[in-house]
A and B are shown apart, each in its own frame.
Chain A
Amino acid sequence: MIDALVVPMQQGVFELLLSPLFWILEAWYWLLVQVYHVTGLEMLSPDYRFMYRAILVGLCIGIVAPLIGTFLVHRQLALIGDALAHTAFAGVAVGLFLNAILDLGVSPYLTAVVVAVIAALVIELISEVTDAYNDVSMAIVLSTGFALGSTLISINAGGLSVGIDQYLFGNLSTVSPTNAVILLALFVAIVGTVAVTRNQLLYVTFDETAAAVSGLSVNWYNRILVMLTALVVVGAMQIMGVILVAAMLVVPVAAASQLSRSFTESIYVSIVLAEAAVLLGIGVAYYGRATGGPVIVLVAVGIYVIAVLAGKVRTALTGQTAPSTGRIEVNRAPSTGDKHE
């Protein structure tokens, strides 16, 4: 445990700032060792610490991806995750390029965060300035990001032999302690921001014009949402890969929409479904010796199909149709009391 504090300090200011999160990582190792002793599951063997980190990252993604995805899907921005994942790929390429040329030793995931956040703001800017629909701005940014990433990698020393597959398809075994801690930091930032701005994000998602009339700065909340999306995408990219990362933003939310009666419930249900997909997916990938990201997505899609069928069955059983018009109780005056809080 002491090593967890001392070693990061030796590695510089960045690690020093993240040292509390390294301590959490150590605590997580300890917890899973106890689970291993109780269950005897091979994938939780203390010899496979990379699995501990993969599970931690997966569980965090299982919370933040549907949390942000719920707002995106209902704003009909499901594909923005895909666009930002491709720009995050460009960010990874920038990191690899700088490391190869200048020997900076910077984590490609950090450059991916920076580039993805900038790309998120560019998407919003294009929408605001040109009045182009969001899918147009997303298509432009997606193509540009992937083109930039491919170009940088192709001119990098060693060309495509820099192990780019792990970024494209994700890899459970390559989640380093530093990357796991970066993900924890992103997790805290994302959950904290949504906890504070939930009301505003919900209002803007449901009715943008009414939200603007009520005094909210719609453009600012749109920017916050796309920046949070960029952070989720970079975090999830480690195990999901660029190509599949959008699935975690969309599929659990789509499944939850079939089963939930309210917005709040849909957030909780989507998180539960995402966590189920992550844990089952990691387990199946480990024992089936498959790549983690694709298996997680396949499990999530399986859950979605079951949710659709369950939703249909429930509708058939309850027979819910459009209700009849209710009576207007116009004799009851609306509150005219003082403004509250």
Chain B
Amino acid sequence: MTRFNGEALSRETAADGEEEEWKEEEWKKEEKKEDSRDAREAIIELDDVAFGYTATPVVENVSLRIDPGEYVAIVGPNGSGKSTLLKLVLGLLRPDRGTARLFSQPAHQFDDGSRIGYVAQHASASKSMPITVREVVKMGRFPHVGFGRLGASDREIVEEAIGTVGMSSFADRRITALSGGQRQRAFIARALAGEADLLVLDEPTVGVDADSVAAFYDLLEALHGQGITIILIEHDLSAVTAHAERAVCLNREIYFDGPTDEFTPENALARTMGATAEPERETT
């Protein structure tokens, strides 16, 4: 979502009164849109965040707001701080400077894990772990049941989530016996079973074949259409421009934040991917 630059607009002088009036109306409309957006609960708000594992920052000067229902791709080269930014967003790391808020709470204190579905490239378990798709999807219900057992309604939700991602016939298969694309669908089903408002995917299509990647993005688009907020870490730029609504280009700092259709023409890509130009914070 392109940030509205009211100051720049006000500096422009209109040639005639009609145009000035039109601009004034546009300005008011944009301001109204900003106000209504501010009134909603932002999913994510980063304000001047900086973080480094050592003295050298991995990310810095990062300000970002993601609203409900957005489909945002965070792109950048290897080592650009994408995964670190994701950890800051999810509260797994605390910023050295600035603030990170998740669902209006400080991210590191956020405790309603059921609102977030997380899909990584791989699970951390050994490949020999005999665990079925259904057992993985059930994990999505764990934040809801705590130390209790899953009830009939939980099991119903699990089956529905498995069906949503087209994995019903694979529910009793070991997840390690599935292809990469099928595994990722199972992880998305886990997020759906948790009834997550926010789906966070960390390079989910690495090692997945082309056909499965296409089906995977179809699924994401369908879920986005149902109102789920999606944050996608990706370095396949063609996938980003083809599917996401908004791109955030990161290489330690944010070089571009706007609609994906404005992404390439802005030349942000070259700067994000390693050119030496001075960072340009917001592009409209």
CA distance A58 to B36 in the complex (A): 67
Q: What is the minimal beta-carbon distance from A271 to any residue of chain B, in angstroms?
A: 14
Q: Does A39 contact B (CB under 8 A)?
A: no
Q: Does B145 contact A (CB under 8 A)?
A: yes
Are A206 and B164 closer than 8 Å at their CB atoms? no
Among candidates B147, B166, B194, B218, residue contacting A326 with C-beta atoms closer than 8 Å: B166
Are B144 and A339 closer than 8 Å at their CB atoms? yes
Q: Does A205 contact B (CB under 8 A)?
A: yes
Are B142 and A203 closer than 8 Å at their CB atoms? yes
Q: What is the minimal beta-carbon distance from A323 to any residue of chain B, in angstroms?
A: 6
Within 8 A of B (CB), among A214-271: 214-216, 254, 256-257, 260-266
Contact A206/B226 with A320-B177, A330-B219 known, Cβ cut-off 8 Å:
no
Interface segment, one of A60-68, A111-119, A137-145, A194-202:
A194-202
Are A214 and B194 closer than 8 Å at their CB atoms? yes
Among candidates B113, B129, B141, residue contacting A206 with C-beta atoms closer than 8 Å: B129
Residues in A with CB closer than 8 Å to B131 are: 206, 262-263
Q: Does B56 contact A (CB under 8 A)?
A: no
Closest residue of chain B to A212, judged by CB?
B92
Closest residue of chain B to A207, judged by CB?
B123
Contact A214/B142 with A199-B147, A327-B166, A341-B154 known, Cβ cut-off 8 Å:
yes
Among candidates A73, A207, A215, A260, residue contacting B143 with C-beta atoms closer than 8 Å: A215
Residues in A with CB closer than 8 Å to B76 are: none
Residues in B with CB closer than 8 Å to A203 are: 139, 142
CA distance A334 to B195 in the complex (A): 8
Within 8 A of B (CB), among A57-85: 73-76
Q: Is the interface of A mostly helix, strand, loop or mixed?
A: loop
Contact A263/B161 with A209-B92, A323-B178 known, Cβ cut-off 8 Å:
no
Closest residue of chain A to B152, judged by CB?
A340
Are A263 and B90 closer than 8 Å at their CB atoms? no
From B90, B136, B169, B187, residue with most partner A Cβ within 10 Å: B136
Contact A325/B179 with A199-B147, A209-B118, A330-B219 known, Cβ cut-off 8 Å:
yes
CA distance A75 to B136 in the complex (A): 15
Mark contacts of B152-193 with chain A using CB atoms, 8 A cut-off: 1 yes-contact digit, 0 otherwise. Answer: 011011001101111111101110011101100101001010
Q: Does A102 contact B (CB under 8 A)?
A: no
Q: Does B222 contact A (CB under 8 A)?
A: yes
CA distance A158 to B27 in the complex (A): 92
Residues in B with CB closer than 8 Å to A76 are: 126
Among candidates A209, A256, A335, residue contacting B160 with C-beta atoms closer than 8 Å: A335
CA distance A256 to B131 in the complex (A): 12
Q: Does B24 contact A (CB under 8 A)?
A: no
CA distance A285 to B38 in the complex (A): 75
Residues in A with CB closer than 8 Å to B124 are: 75, 206-209
Are A213 and B195 closer than 8 Å at their CB atoms? no
Closest residue of chain B to A206, judged by CB?
B125
CA distance A215 to B219 in the complex (A): 26
Are A74 and B154 closer than 8 Å at their CB atoms? no
CA distance A215 to B146 in the complex (A): 10
Among candidates B125, B195, B211, B218, residue contacting A336 with C-beta atoms closer than 8 Å: B195
CA distance A32 to B153 in the complex (A): 45
CA distance A200 to B112 in the complex (A): 15
Residues in B with CB closer than 8 Å to A264 are: 135
Are A214 and B113 closer than 8 Å at their CB atoms? yes
CA distance A336 to B110 in the complex (A): 21
CA distance A74 to B142 in the complex (A): 19
Within 8 A of A (CB), among B204-250: 211-212, 215, 218-219, 222-223, 226
Q: Does B200 contact A (CB under 8 A)?
A: yes
Closest residue of chain A to B166, judged by CB?
A328
Are B154 and A322 closer than 8 Å at their CB atoms? no
Q: Does B132 contact A (CB under 8 A)?
A: yes
Residues in B with CB closer than 8 Å to A212 are: 92
Residues of B near any A CB (own CB < 8 A):
90, 92, 110-114, 116, 118, 120, 123-126, 128-132, 134-136, 139, 141-148, 151, 153-154, 156-157, 160-161, 163-170, 172-174, 177-179, 181-182, 185, 187, 190, 192, 194-195, 200, 211-212, 215, 218-219, 222-223, 226
> Can you name 18 A-B pairs with beta carbons within 8 Å?
A74-B126, A197-B147, A199-B142, A203-B142, A206-B139, A213-B116, A215-B112, A261-B174, A262-B131, A322-B177, A323-B173, A323-B179, A325-B181, A325-B182, A326-B170, A330-B164, A330-B218, A335-B160
